[in-house]
Amino acid sequence: MKLFADTANLQEIKAALADGFIAGITTNPSLLAKEPKADYLGHMRKIVGLIRESGREVHLSIEVIAREPAEMAAQADRFINELAYGNLAIKIPISQHGRSFTGVVRELTSRGIAVNCTACMTPMQGLAAAAAGAKYVSLFYNRIRDGLLERHSDEREALLAAKTVEEADFDPAHVIEETAHLLAMSYPDAEIIAGSIRSVLDVKQAGLAGAHIVTLSPKLFPAIVGHYKTDEAVDSFLADIGRWLD
């Protein structure tokens, strides 16, 4: 399982690259909206610049902000051409209000563009994304669980009644496990990215369920590497050698 940093903050990205254990960076429009206002593509150029300065060719996923399929494809082409970064994937949402964007995924992948099909919540959405050619299928771990706890109960009950989903499709670990099984049978080159991560346990459980990649806020990085027993052990080692050297 690989770890990606889920952020658009330049300082967080610089620190994450220096930490050495991330294999990629993912961004989205909501993350960018937390940063000082700037040109969208200009900000992405700064991210690419930080990656190049680090000397590591890590993955980068950036999302289109267009609403229409033709505009999405045109925007993707502009990102590819102007950023000129080899390890770049374009994030395309699976759908919106009943409109499928798998046609955009197919168009881009047919031209050799790596696509990260995002905002997937069910195994069947993940399968459709991979079938359209997506290299990455992003499942939103905690948003899947939120679907059972939050509003939109009418929509949820309608999906259940229509047998579009089942109760288990609101268990994110189950969704990742089933998606991984479906992809392994027919689209083994597609990789699952688990996003919408809120805790270190989410990271571990998503990976054990079958996610190839987990993307998480850099704010969780200290908790991943830290442990009070680690501190105790290192303090003991240093104290012992200090007494020996005196």
**Residue 195 β-bridge partners:** 140
How far is Cα 2 from Cα 51, in angstroms, rounded to an integer? Answer: 17
CB-CB contact of 126 with 172 (8 Å): no
R_g (Cα) of the chain, nearest Å: 20
How far is Cα 131 from Cα 107, in angstroms, rounded to an integer? Answer: 12
* Active site annotation includes 91: yes
72-94: buried (b, 16+ CB within 10 Å) or exposed (e) per residue?
bbebbeebbeebebeebbbbbbb
Sign of CA dihedral 120, 122, 128, 130: positive
Among residues 2, 14, 34, 91, the one annotated as catalytic is: 91
How far is Cα 50 from Cα 193, in angstroms, rounded to an integer? Answer: 23
CB-CB contact of 8 with 47 (8 Å): yes
CB-CB contact of 203 with 148 (8 Å): no
Q: Tokens at residue 59, please?
A: 């993955």
For the chain, the residue count is 246
Angle between the N-to-C axes of helices 141-149 and 200-209, in degrees from 0 to 180, rounded to the nearest 10? 100
- Catalytic site residues? 91
